[in-house]
């Protein structure tokens, strides 16, 4: 009986061992099958890609054209990139409602049939504007500007996020906002905060970079910029230093001035032309609002003008705490004492206070900042601010008075406008802009040397000293 039980137990153990071996073998085979299937899947992808590449190499290229106007629902007049115009048909899969005047299309090389539509042609400079990263800036990182943030959000964020509110009231939302104020007060930071908190395309433009030496190129760039913004709504366009192209227009000037004026007129047309901007909002920033053209500032183009002033004592406290939040500190920091010494500081100066305090800690071989570091930093920057307001940075800075009197004759064009007025009064002759003029001193006399006309002695100019 015992022998029978032992034999049964041995058979059971042998069966279990055999089962385990087969189970392990089965799992190994499943793993191999999975690996083979994965490699087969990758091979199919490679085969498809290779086949597509082979077809693209064997296929004939296509022509880019532009629709001039539709004749009927099936025939269109198009202009090829090479110049000729054709009456062509259209593929059945192409949406014919999109084939309006000015639409870029792809034409078959042989039959010239419209194969598909293309997006609007955009200058690469506009793509560089789009790729500007505003960073992760929250509204809480902008201190002392709560009223300005509210006005900016009402003008830019609210129409994009909740346009139905304006429809209910029956008003049109603002098109654009002008941020103006002294340098370093946070105008660009506000625009970055708006761009970070809204799910919209953001184009950042430095106005001076738009100006091109070729006539019409700057205006074309403005058109393409607004065209791209209309095609990718919602979109926010931020133009920094708008005074570079938005200055007052005048009748006289060089060809460069006239090109800037043409750029401004194109900007005015895009802001208030026949085409509605839709969900395209404009933010402009400047620290020279007094030089801007009145046509740019009128309502309908820039509906809101938001002043970003120098921060008061409470605002300086908020800004200083924001910048000092990430600094390793030791002991109690008396922010009120620091703020009272920082009279007239802007946001950039207060950030510099924190930087200088950190530099003082590094010089003292510490990895933390104490209150005295902040006090030293604010005193140092106070002295620098006084120097900024009093110093005249020129080649004569720091020289003796006699040396300056001798050197000022090396800069003869300082009083050129006054000399022109005297010349007009004495000789009754108008100098053209192309006349080459220079000044020379000879026995306390100043001469206008005109290479087109005889020289004129203006007499002894005691005022020049």
DSSP calls for 26-93: HHHHHHHHHHHHHHHHHHHHHHHHHHHHHHHHHSPP-EEEEEEEESSSS-EEEEETTS-EEEE-B-TT
Same domain, 297 and 268: yes
Q: Give the side-chain half-sphere CA count within 13 A for 459.
A: 7
282 and 429 share one domain: no
Is residue 176 in a domain?
A: yes
Assigned domain for 11 exists: no
Neighbours of 99 (CB within 10 A): 18
pLDDT at position 389: 59
With tokens 């500032």, the residue in question is: 297
- Cβ count within 10 A of residue 350: 29
Could you tell me if 317 and 194 lie in one domain? no
- How far is 61 from 132, CA to CA, in rounded Å? 34
Residue 81 belongs to domain with CATH number? 2.40.50.140
147: its two tokens: 């009223």
Q: Where are the alpha helices (DSSP H) in 95-144?
A: 124-130
Tens-binned pLDDT, residue by residue, of the chain (465 aa): 566 777 888 888 888 888 888 889 999 999 999 899 999 999 999 998 888 888 777 667 788 888 888 888 888 888 888 888 888 888 888 888 888 888 889 888 878 888 888 887 777 777 677 666 667 778 887 888 888 889 988 888 888 888 888 888 888 888 889 999 888 888 888 888 888 888 788 888 888 878 777 777 888 888 888 888 888 888 888 888 888 888 888 777 677 778 888 888 888 888 876 456 678 888 999 988 888 888 888 888 888 899 988 888 888 888 888 888 888 888 888 888 888 888 888 888 889 999 999 999 999 998 899 989 989 998 888 888 776 655 443 334 334 444 444 444 344 444 444 444 444 333 333 333 333 333 433 333 344 444 344 334 444 344 333
Kindly state whether residues 210 and 328 are assigned to the same domain.
Answer: no
Residues 176 and 242 in one domain: yes
Is 43 within the bounds of a domain?
no
Residues 179 and 301 in one domain: yes
DSSP state for residue 443 in the 8-state scheme: T
CATH number for the domain that contains residue 373:
1.10.8.60
**What burial class does residue 280 get, using C-beta atoms within 10 Å of its C-beta: 0-12 exposed, 13-18 middle, 19+ buried?**
buried
pTM attached to this predicted model: 0.62
Instruction: Provide the number of structural domains found in the chain.
Output: 4
Dist. CA 229–CA 211, nearest whole Å: 20
CB atoms within 10 A of CB 434: 6
3-class secondary-structure state, position 329: strand
In-domain check, residue 50:
no
Domain end, chosen from 307, 341, 364, is at: 307
Same domain, 241 and 98: no
Q: Are residues 151 and 274 in the same domain?
A: yes
CA dist 231 to 122, 226, 320, 322, Å? 11, 9, 41, 38
Is the domain of 211 the same as that of 357?
Answer: no
Residue ending a domain, choose from 102, 118, 134: 118
CATH of the domain at 179: 3.40.50.300
Contacting residues for 54 by C-beta, under 8 A, at least 6 apart: none
Q: Are 329 and 299 in contact (CB under 8 A)?
A: no
Of 287, 307, 327, the residue at which a domain comes to its end is 307
Residue 32 lies in a domain: no
Is residue 446 a part of any domain in this protein?
A: yes
Domain assignment present for 417: yes
8 Å CB contact between 105 and 66:
yes
Residues 299 and 318 in one domain: no
Does 26 reside within a domain?
no
For residues 200 and 205, give the distance between their C-alpha atoms in angstroms, rounded to a whole number.
16
Instruction: Residue 93: give the domain boundaries.
Output: 63-118
Q: Are residues 212 and 274 in the same domain?
A: yes
Considering the domain architecture, whether residues 302 and 317 belong to the same structural domain is answered as: no
Look at residue 109 and give its three-state secondary structure: coil
């Amino acid at each position: 009986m015992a022998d029978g039980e032992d034999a049964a137990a041995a058979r059971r153990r042998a069966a279990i061992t055999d089962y385990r071996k087969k189970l392990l073998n089965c799992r190994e085979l499943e793993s191999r099958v999975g690996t083979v299937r994965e490699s087969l899947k990758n091979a199919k992808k490679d085969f498809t890609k290779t086949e597509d590449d082979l077809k693209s190499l064997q296929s004939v290229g296509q022509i880019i054209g532009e629709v001039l106007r539709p004749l009927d629902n099936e025939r269109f007049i198009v202009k090829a990139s090479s110049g000729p115009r054709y009456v062509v048909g259209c593929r059945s899969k192409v949406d014919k409602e999109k084939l309006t005047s000015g639409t870029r299309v792809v034409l078959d090389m042989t039959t010239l049939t419209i194969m598909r539509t293309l997006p609007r042609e955009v200058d690469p400079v506009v793509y560089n504007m789009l790729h500007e990263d505003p960073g992760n800036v929250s509204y809480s990182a902008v201190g002392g500007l709560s009223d300005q943030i509210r006005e900016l959000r009402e003008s830019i964020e609210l129409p994009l996020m909740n346009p139905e509110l304006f429809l209910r009231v029956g008003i049109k939302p603002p098109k654009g906002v002008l941020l103006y104020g002294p340098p370093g007060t946070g105008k660009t930071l506000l625009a970055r905060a708006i761009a970070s908190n809204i799910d919209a395309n953001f184009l950042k433009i430095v106005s001076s970079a738009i100006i091109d030496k070729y006539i019409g190129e700057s205006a074309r760039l403005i058109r393409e910029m607004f065209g791209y913004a209309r095609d990718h709504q919602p979109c926010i366009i931020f133009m920094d230093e708008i005074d570079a192209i938005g200055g007052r227009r005048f009748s006289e000037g060089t060809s460069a001035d006239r090109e800037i004026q043409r750029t401004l007129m194109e900007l005015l047309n895009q802001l208030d032309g026949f085409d509605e901007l839709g969900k395209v909002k404009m933010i402009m920033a400047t620290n020279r609002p007094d030089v801007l053209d009145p046509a740019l500032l009128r309502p309908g183009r820039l509906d809101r003008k938001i002043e970003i002033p120098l921060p008061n004592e409470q605002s300086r406290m908020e800004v200083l705490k924001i910048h000092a939040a990430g600094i390793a500190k030791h002991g109690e920091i008396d922010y009120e004492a620091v703020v009272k010494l920082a009279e007239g500081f802007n946001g950039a100066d207060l950030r510099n206070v924190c930087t200088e305090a950190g530099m003082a800690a590094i010089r003292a071989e510490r990895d933390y900042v104490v209150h005295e570091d902040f006090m030293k930093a604010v005193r140092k920057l106070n002295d620098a601010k006084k120097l900024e307001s009093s110093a005249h940075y020129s080649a004569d800075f720091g020289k003796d008075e006699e040396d300056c009197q001798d050197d000022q004759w090396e800069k003869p064009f300082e009083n050129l406008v006054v000399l022109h007025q005297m010349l007009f009064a004495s000789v009754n002759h108008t100098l053209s802009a192309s006349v080459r003029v220079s000044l020379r001193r000879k026995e306390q006399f100043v001469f206008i040397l005109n290479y087109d006309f005889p020289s004129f002695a203006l007499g002894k100019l005691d005022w020049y000293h």
